[in-house]
Structure 1
Amino acid sequence: MDLVDLITEKRFLGQEFLTWLWYKSEERGGAVAVPGRGDVSVTFEKHMLLEYGEGQEQEKVICRGLQTELKEARAGLSLAKKPEQARLKLEWHEQEFGVTLTAATFEFRNVRLPKIVDRADEGRGPEDLEARVLERLALFELLSDLVLDLFRLFIGIRISRDWPRELLQIRAWIQESSQRLAQP
């Protein structure tokens, strides 16, 4: 099996992860309890790409909206559309990251790292530049670790006996969101 076939076959895991993460982000007001790390605040921001169908029948819909709404995306979930890409804000220990995560390949796009304190008293020599680059690399690694920890949590639940119960809760959340949208 080549890489493209493998990505196509396993893309559902990334889509399920984004759906689960969206559900989890609303379950406790944005805080997702990650074992060994504590609470990670997850917010779905104003951009999401949904997919429906397969092959030549595949459709893609870009949804935009306020952070807490994404009404079109919520309606899409109730119509069996799956998140393929989502803009996320992750916060952990006063560090705030922004990233657009692609479900099929776990590609990070439009990464926004926390601001690095600019030390005015430091020189602008090569050592200072190297220190800033290393600090940014460390922040990117932390972002990567946060996403991987969230994914590990998801996979742990996904392969456990708790998955059917979790899936029922996710479906109820989608149904509830759909009903709220239908009300005037």
Structure 2
Amino acid sequence: MVDLVDQIEGVRFLGREWLLYLWYESERMGAEDVEALREDATVPLVRPPQELFTPPGVDPFALYVTSPLVLESRFDVVERVSITGTEPSESNEARAALREGKLPAKLKLEIIRGEREWACTLDGDTLSMSGVRLPAELKKEEEAALEERLYLLGELEAMLDALLQQYVELRLSKRFTSSVRPAMREWLLSSVD
């Protein structure tokens, strides 16, 4: 009988692959699309709505990678690269680390939906969130503010859960090997402008 630790180790790669996929997808979404998702925006979407982050059960949102970005090797000797600064995911150093076989171990995400903005760091091994920043609260009363914060945290969890579920379904599909993996490989090998 395989014990729990062996089962966890057997699928640990999935979290890091998911973070890499989120990074890839976030770079496909342009700044114009992020602005178009804001409620008061007058900018039209550059990408069709189905290509934005629209997992089942949640409203469309934009997602992008911010600083810091931590990449680690998957081999016995752990090599870690931590990239900071503005737009670390678009740095040549980050792409070089990916080409060397490193995968995102921790990824800081900014999520925008309408006028609301969330931020959190996802751990690729445990899929846990840390450093969560919620949208500003509107309610002033203590109890109402707490309820609003819990609601906003639930919204963040729902978006991330839906993204993970969508990724697992994609990862198990034939489409992943026929079109997504080759597109990601092409992205990985492309140079950063």
TM-score, reference length from structure 1: 0.84
Aligned to 1:20: 21
5 Å-filtered alignment, 1:54-93, equals 54-55=75-76, 57-67=77-87, 69-93=90-114
CA apart distance, 1:158: 0.6
Residues matched between the structures, number: 170
Structure having the larger proportion of residues in strand: 1
What is the CA-CA distance between 1:36 and the residue it aligns to?
A: 4.1
Give secondary structure in 2 for the equivalent of 1:34.
Answer: coil
Residue pair 1:98, 1:113 contacting (<8 A) in 2 also = yes
When the two chains are superposed, the root-mean-square deviation of aligned CA atoms in Å is 1.9
Query: For 2:188 and 2:56, how far apart are their aligned partners in 1?
Result: 26
Output the CA distance in 1 between the equivalents of 2:112 and 2:3.
36
Bigger Rg, structure 1 or 2 = 1
1:16-165 superposed matches below 5 A: 16-29=17-30, 31-55=52-76, 57-67=77-87, 69-119=90-140, 128-164=141-177, 165=179
User: Which segment drifts farther, 14-23 or 1-10?
Assistant: 1-10
Q: CA deviation at 1:15?
A: 0.7
| Stretches of structure 1 lacking an aligned partner (at least 5 in a row) | 120-127
User: Deviation of residue 48 (structure 1)?
Assistant: 1.0
Q: What is the Cα deviation at residue 175 of structure 1?
A: 0.6
The normalised TM-score by structure 2 is 0.80
Question: What runs of 5+ residues in structure 2 fail to find an aligned partner?
Answer: 35-51
- Counterpart position of 1:168: 182
Structure 1 segments, 4+ long, off by >4 Å, are: none
For the 8 Å contact 1:50–1:60, the answer to whether it is kept is: yes
Distance change >3 Å, CA 173–CA 71, structure 1 → 2: same
